Amino acid sequence: MPIDTQKYDRQLRLWATTGQQSLATSHVCLVNANTLGCEVLKNLVLPGIGKFTIVDAEKVTQDDLSANFFLKASSLGEYRAEAAKNVLLELNPDVAGEAVTAFRDDGAFWKQFSLVVVSNQFCELGSLKERLWKWQVPLMVVNSVGFYGSLRVFAAELTAIESHPANPFGDLRLDKPWPELQRYVDAISLPALDLVDHAHVPYVVILIKALKEWRKLHAGGAPESSQEKREFKEGIARMARNIHTEVNFTEARDVSWRACQVTETPAGIHELMDLSRTALHAAPERNRIFWVLVSALRLFQKEAGTLPLSGVLPDMASDTASYVRLQDIYRAKARLDRLRFKKHVAAVLLSLEEGGEVSDEVAETFCKNARTLFVARSSNTDDLNTELVEILTRGESPGAMQAEYEDEGLANLYVYLSLLANTHHYNTRASAATLPDLYLAVREVLGSVHIPAKLDQTLQEVVRAQNREFHNTSSLMGGMAGQEALKVLMAQYRVLDNCFVWDGIKSRSDKWKV
Amino acid sequence: MTTVAERSESSILPYITATGPFSDPDYEPGQEVLDFLHTSRILVIGAGGLGCEILKDLALSGFKSIDVIDMDTIDVSNLNRQFLFRRHDVGASKAETAANFVMARVAGVTINAHCCRIQDMTHAYYRQFTLVVCGLDSIEARRWMNATLCQIVTDNSADPLALIPLIDGGTEGFKGSARVILPGVSACYECSLDTLGVRTVYPVCTIANTPRLPEHCVEWASVLEWPRHWGDVKFDADDPLAVDWMYATALTRAKQFNINGVTRSLTLGVVKNIIPAIALTNAVVAAACCSEAFKLVTGCTASLENFMMYSGDDSIFTYTFKYERKENCAVCGYDSKTFTAQRWWTLQDFVDHIAEQNEVQMKQPSLATARKNLYLRKPEALEKATRPNLSKKLCDLVEDGTEEVAITDPQLPISVRCKIVFAGSDERAEFVDV
């Protein structure tokens, strides 16, 4: 089916047709059509996933209607799965939906999904988690109780080629110009240029020239110490005829640090290339092509000594002809690298006794993003993991966020524990939770660990919520969980790795790797 | 019409019937709180991506009396996130369609829709509300609303009901923010205006002489060629023929300079200044805003102090901090700002400079001192009379460092008061035109 570029215009500008295509072929399973679950699906149906299936044996109650916009009041007493499915399907005619009103435990049923989302309590969670892990189906468990929310991603391995880094590294190779680039730079004689042309030489040319001169005077070395880098920068200002009026030289001076950067393969990418030796044969099916490409990257790097050139030239002060010429030089080199890379891909595929090749588009996207590939690998450990328990016992802030709020970090962990205790209680007992119940649940979750006194407040807050969803928390968590689900389905952007908690009372959040 | 039973309020009752460990010690839960929640009048500005979510969230948080203002009509490109609209609604009023949808889905909620500009409403209208929630995509409209609510506080300093909290949400792609403003008490929108990024503007000389990016070619078509060909005819981005012309013109320019990448979609993106928008960021930000609305009205727990930023492309990230009031805020401050001007600047140079400043951001500034009008855009007669000043030297018009200049813009109910300190030489330096 062709993509509706008008309807999806505002999101295609983020993840392009490749991302949209992945969405359109995905099938998401939601367990529990409660408020939170429906909000997650709303955020997936609107941008256009292919299909969803709701698994829910419950019938619509007054409590459901209190907070769930995607249940009509007239559906009171009907199956939640059916009622929610019908309302959600109205949001986007491109999407198909199905309702399942009895729990299924056959593999064929669960293996059809690209992702399973469990919303709030589900007493079969433990066994479902084990099985989805075995079948390599990613699972997200999302919770919303009162003002508190949490999200946990369970997947052995998630990858993204297009990770959309906030500050993409430039790949200009100023310290290692290839022969064509060096020849182009050498052919330009700055003193011979007239006033106008001199003020339009792109900074790439200026910096390569400056670095070459520097190396002549410094036994072939590049500026390393901060003193040297300062001198190098000042040298560039002196190359200008008038630094106050020549914008290109001002730019060159401002980005002189780029020339001092060594073109090298990032450590994280080295790790991935090493990992590819085993991952190529062991990775989940959905990631197989990713590891074929990383294996080819390893072969490329081994042969060429560098990664393939990205071929992207940022805008810079320049006349049109010089800029376009320079862009051609970068693109031509990227094209050559890409062809070479594709040969390695073919070799890897051949070694797998498959043969074939990847398309030019895939190779181009991969080479452009080769410096910022994203991989998250986690284990299937239970929630009560030793690291967090140890942190609790030490009483130190474990959070990555807002380090200045030491106590806040710990407070966020209390929120997470309180939610865990609540889930544990309702998954194992039918009665409404009291404070002593939750203390008992905490002990059962944490084992023999000392329970910090401050946990009392967040537990009380959870008791007050009476295991009910507050619409705004469910809507917020539904947004965040929907977002992470989209990343998993598109294999784009950097997905949560792997545990997140939201405190809607203090409007703060935190995340950890469990 | 059959009466549909109202939905149970069990999801909000825990906070209204009981106090919690993080509640204010003075909080008294009970029927009065519920009654106040039901009778509070909430104004929602914007019925777009954020607005649809906000209306849904408020309706399910116990608010029963809501007004919504939006002058826009529904476009196909809204349907990927504005979930209260369907394809057959395209062309209809956003405010009315959204209001009707929510009222039909959640019985007992009344939503008055106004398909108009916020500037069309009077102070008396705005004074009716307990709280205002903004889901806008325009900085100008936010500034207008903020300034209006701050003005209402100033004009009615003896009346505590004149303090109408403003909750403001904003999104762009995977990023967003939610903030709580207590006009006259906490930092207002204008206090932090300088933290906003300014839209990328391509220098005219690049567009005219040295285009390098496809965007430069589109700007050439829209900024230079459109007025040359069509004179005073305003470009209408919703007219496919006009867009085709723009695209073709940009493409011709691009081919002439060997620049790749001009597409119809890119052309539209540049001329309409399209900001990417997705459902889920709106959901997160709107929910954070409405959670604060619920907290402020019920008092069930402390509210946000006072800004939360959200970013969702690299994992999930939130950061909460407090903006402080600025003494020289043009809206809620009492002090004037200070700007530095070069001695050789004409008034025109200063006007160009000031319009771009992050803490001013005015498209059509008019300037006056207590002694005289420096340059006024309106009315026409005064514009004509003050126009010669634009080519005069600024330092001959304004006292150095002492005289207060008021800068205003017809679009904004704001007067930026500033003093000008002069620096540099009397003569303009030699300048190579790049």
* Nearest residue on chain B to A244, alpha-carbon basis: B431
Asked if B312 lies within 8 A of A480 by C-beta distance, the reply is yes
- The residues of B carrying an active-site annotation are 205
Contact assessment for residue A82 and residue A101, using Cβ atoms and an 8 Å cutoff: yes
- For residue B424, the model assigns a pLDDT of 83
| DSSP 8-class letter at B81 | T
Cβ contacts of B257 on chain A, cutoff 8 Å: 320, 324
Average pLDDT over chain A, rounded to an integer? 92
User: Residue B211 has what pLDDT?
Assistant: 95
Residues of A in contact with B111 (CB under 8 A): none
User: Cβ contact (<8 Å) for B288 and A483?
Assistant: no
Give the integer Cα–Cα distance in Å for A510 and A204.
41
Structure letter (DSSP) for residue B174: T
Taking only the tens place, the pLDDT of each residue in A26-72 is 999 999 999 999 999 999 999 999 999 999 999 999 999 999 999 99
pLDDT at A409: 66
Residue A448 pLDDT exceeds 70: no
- Residue A7 sits at the chain B interface (C-beta within 8 Å): yes
pLDDT tier at A382, thresholds 50, 70, 90: low
Gap between the Cα atoms of A65 and A60, Å rounded:
7
Domain boundaries, chain A: 9-163+469-512, 179-260, 267-376, 386-465
- Helix boundaries (H) for A3-142: 9-24, 35-45, 62-67, 80-89, 107-111, 125-134
Cis preceding linkage at A498, omega within 30:
yes
- Closest C-alpha to A424, from A450, A372, A462, A391: A462
Measured in whole angstroms, the distance separating CA A369 from the mean position of its chain's CA atoms is 14
By C-alpha distance, which of B39, B309, B271 is closest to B175?
B309
pLDDT in tens, A217-265: 999 999 999 999 999 999 999 999 998 889 999 999 999 999 998 999 9
pLDDT at res. A431: 86
CB contact under 8 A, B317 and A401: yes
Residue range A396-412, pLDDT digits in tens: 444 444 444 456 667 88
Those of residues 323-362 in B touching chain A at CB distance below 8 A are: none
CA distance A229 to chain B (A): 28
Cα dihedral B232→B233→B236→B237 (10° resolution):
-70
pLDDT at residue A199 greater than cutoff 60? yes
- Report whether A88 contacts A49 (CB < 8 A): no
Q: Which residues of chain B have pLDDT under 50?
A: 1, 431-434
- B78 with A6: CB under 8 angstroms? no
Contact of B130 with B85, CB cutoff 8 Å: no
C-alpha span between B187 and B323 (Å, rounded): 6
CA distances from A177 to A248, A265, A441 (A): 20, 16, 63
Residues of chain A found within 8 Å of residue B12, distances taken between Cβ atoms: 66, 470-471
**Count of alpha carbons within 13 angstroms of residue A129, beta-carbon side:** 16
The whole-angstrom separation of Cα B106 and Cα B101 is 9
Strand partners, B340: B421
CA distance A376 to A495: 8
Beta strands in A291-425 (DSSP E): 374-377
Q: Do B313 and A494 make contact, defined as CB atoms within 8 angstroms? A: yes
Q: How far is B364 from chain A (nearest CA, A)?
A: 28
Cβ <8 Å between B22 and A90: no
pLDDT value of residue A226: 93
Distant-in-sequence, close-in-space partners of A134: CB < 8 Å, separation ≥ 6: none
Asked if B394 is an interface residue toward chain A (Cβ–Cβ < 8 A), one would say: no
CB contact under 8 A, B210 and A507: no
Confidence (pLDDT) at A153: 95
Place of tokens 């997650």: A40
Give yes or no for A149 touching B (CB within 8 A).
Answer: no
End-to-end CA distance of chain B: 70
CATH architecture of B337-423: Roll (3.10)
Partner B contacted by A434 (CB < 8 A): no
Q: Which fold has domain B4-197+277-321?
A: Rossmann fold (3.40.50)
Question: Which among A324, A469, A479 has CB closest to B281?
Answer: A479
Percentage of chain B lying above the pLDDT 90 cut: 80
What dihedral do alpha carbons A120, A122, A126, A128 form, nearest 10°?
Answer: -100
Q: How far is A398 from chain B (nearest CA, A)?
A: 16
With H, G, I as helix, E, B as strand and everything else as coil, classify residue B306.
coil
Homologous superfamily of the B204-272 domain (CATH): Ubiquitin activating enzymes (Uba3). Chain: B, domain 2 (1.10.10.520)
Q: Which of A196, A244, A464 is closest, CB to CB, to B14?
A: A464
Between A and B, how many CB-CB pairs are < 8 A? 245
Quick one: pLDDT at residue B5? 81
Alpha helices in B314-391 (DSSP H): 347-356, 380-386
ipTM of the complex: 0.94
**Looking at residue A284, what is its pLDDT?**
84
* 8 A C-beta contact, residue A108 and residue A62: no
Residue B271, classified by CB atoms within 10 Å of its CB into exposed (0-12), middle (13-18) or buried (19+), is: buried
Asked if the C-beta of A452 comes within 8 angstroms of chain B's C-beta atoms, the answer is no
Region A9-163+469-512: CATH code: 3.40.50.720
Tell which of B301, B306, B316 to mutate to test the A interface (max A CBs under 10 Å).
B316
Q: Which helix (H) or strand (E) holds B139?
A: helix B139-155
- Closest CB to B431 among A90, A245, A468: A245
Q: How many Cβ atoms sit within 10 Å of the Cβ of residue B122?
A: 8
B424 contacts chain A (CB < 8 A)? no
pLDDT number for residue A387: 65
B-chain residues near A461 (CB < 8 A)? 20-22
Chain-chain contact of B279 with A505 (C-beta, under 8 angstroms) = no
B291 to chain A: nearest residue by CA? A472
The answer to whether B230 faces chain A, any CB pair under 8 Å, is no
- For residue B169, give the H/E element and its range: strand B166-172
* Among B residues 83-102, those touching chain A with beta carbons less than 8 Å apart: 83, 86-87
Cis status of the peptide bond prior to A422, with omega within 30 of 0? no
Domain locations in chain B as residue ranges: 4-197+277-321, 204-272, 337-423
